[in-house]
Copies of this chain bind each other. A is one copy, B any other.
Amino acid sequence: MTESLRAQLTQLYERLRAETRERWNRDLPLGELLFDRWERARSLGFGEGASIYHLSLVYGDVEVGSNTWIGPFTLLDGTGGLRIGRNCSISAGVHIYTHDTVKWAVSGGLAPFEHAPVVVGDCCHLGGQSIVAKGVTIGDHSVVGAGSFVNRDLPPYSVSVGAPCRPVGHVEIAPDGNVRLVMDGSDSTDEQRGY
């Protein structure tokens, strides 16, 4: 009986895979082929046009604004309270934590978990695999570089990188939507930096 289910799953996978390749020119794990990213976001009460991959884990109370994109391999921990604005890119592999188990672990389970809220403003870009620790606020229109570890507040219109993540530049937006990322202490922009 399990062999029949296996054959059916393989057939279903191959059909959905073929359809998705044909239609979207992408090739995804079964969970992403089966379930709709926009439906999941709606069912979680996220804003209009927001989407969240199936391979994302959501804990506790997470508020997300309209048109925000949440990628695969992400973790959104709202157990300490998490609010994410509109039009953000929460790139693949981003973890946002509002609790940690540091003291629980090292004390052999004696100390409790610790919690603190996180706010990610509107129109922020969190680069791939960046991590936000509990208690942090990231201002609107900010850029966090891929692989960063954010453990302090970041101001609006900032460009920040590193572990720990610190501001290294700022964002300039022209009225027509044209964007420049200007690095502090130099004339270089993102073009030189290959950011």
- State how many residues of chain A have any CB contact under 8 Å with chain B: 95
A117: min CB distance to chain B, Å: 13
Q: State A15–B3 Cα separation when bound (angstroms).
A: 10
- Provide the A118-149 mask, 1 if CB < 8 A to any CB of B, else 0: 00001111011101010110000111011111
Contact at B101–A136, with CB atoms within 8 Å?
no
Hey, which bits of chain A sit against chain B, CB under 8 A? 1-2, 5-6, 8-13, 15-17, 25-32, 34-35, 40, 43-44, 54-61, 67, 69, 72-73, 75, 86-89, 91-93, 95, 97, 101-111, 122-125, 127-129, 131, 133, 135-136, 141-143, 145-149, 151-152, 157, 161-163, 171, 173, 176-179, 181, 190, 193-195
